[in-house]
Amino acid sequence: MELTITQPDDWHLHLRDGSLLQAVLPHSAKQFGRAIVMPNLKPPITTTSAAVAYRESILKAIPKDSNFNPLMTLYLTDMTTPDEIKLAKKSGLVYGVKLYPAGATTNSQDGVTDIFGNCFSVLEEMAEKNLPLLVHGEVTNSNIDIFDREKVFIETILEPLVQRLPQLKVVMEHITTADAVKFVESCKEGYVAATVTPQHLLLNRNALFQSGLQPHNYCLPVLKREIHRQAIVSAVTSGSKRFFLGTDSAPHDRRNKECSCGCAGIYNSPVALSLYAKVFEEAGALDKLEAFTSFNGPDFYGLPRNKLKIRLRKAPWKVPDYLSFPFGDIVPMFAGETLEWEALPC
């Protein structure tokens, strides 16, 4: 069996910088036409000038035979100004502003502490300039159970925000719960959407603990119960335009995952399209795969769909146990396992 689909885009990608950027970028550039690049570097990408400089470093690392186009984002802080939003929009290179609640995930310590008190004028400017807010949707209050933090964020932050500023475009990134599905589906189409990762479509929280602690299945937002995984699968395979591909591929050196305090993040770029195809095939919805991978994202962002095509061929292949680089190893998602689909250029 073989499918030919419009070249997909990745609407949520971590490329890092330095040697790690050079190591992982070819895996994304091989399959995806564009990617929304996350800004949580050290230091974070908080200004348009920093985003432009980061883009230049990405462009230098792109393989010569690739048409990959990085779409840049800014990291929202309590100190971001409306003028910075104007600069971002004017640049033509910044496509969204990322909201990290302070302390929510990797390199988020500089994130927002009070979105309504410190950032509302910035959000108003974003709505005026049609620049989407990209949301890591979890509260960071340590009194809230980690498995409930997405639900509480929706109730206390997102619902009030959408009510107060309905013209602001919002992407709820890497959704993990039935609550998020319900929220996105309740909002006005074209204004609120969600990205969905391979891990949250295929794994539930049992995958963290099977046969011992599994650090390479640890990500944030953390994997949830099976009932939530099923709700997300139903949503993305329904044909709804509100959901689109965002891998949240987040590479870490193996030593930073397999340690006493391991980093959050799953590296899935080499296997993402294979895994999305698996999900849609098992749901009997391969006819809806192309819209999820290639149409819904650019349509939401107001960008043209890609013109190139790729092939998805049903042919078993084994995922490497690890990928070696001069700085160390990266363990990909489903390392050592056999997958049934592979992505090929046309």
Give residue 146's pLDDT. Answer: 97
The alpha carbon torsion through 181, 184, 185, 191 (nearest 10 deg) reads -160
- Residue ranges per domain, the chain? 10-272
Sequence-ordered strand ranges (E) for the chain: 2-6, 10-13, 34-37, 69-75, 94-99, 133-135, 170-172, 192-196, 243-245, 309-318, 323-325, 328-330, 338-345
- Please, what is the end-to-end C-alpha distance for the chain in angstroms? 15
Give residue 108's pLDDT. Answer: 78
Active centre residues (catalytic): 12, 14, 98, 136, 174, 248
Give residue 269's pLDDT. Answer: 98
Give residue 60's pLDDT. Answer: 97
The CATH topology of domain 10-272 is TIM Barrel (3.20.20)
- What digits encode the pLDDT tens for the residues 283-314? 999 999 999 999 999 999 999 999 999 999 99
Residue 118 reports pLDDT greater than 90: yes
> How many C-beta atoms lie closer than 10 Å to residue 197's C-beta?
28
Query: Is the bond leading into 43 cis (omega within 30 degrees of zero)?
Result: yes
| Residues 233 and 300: beta-carbon distance below 8 Å | no
| Residues 171 and 193: beta-carbon distance below 8 Å | yes
Q: What is the C-alpha separation between 99 and 102, in angstroms, rounded?
A: 9
- What digits encode the pLDDT tens for the residues 35-80? 999 999 999 999 999 999 999 999 999 999 999 999 999 999 999 9
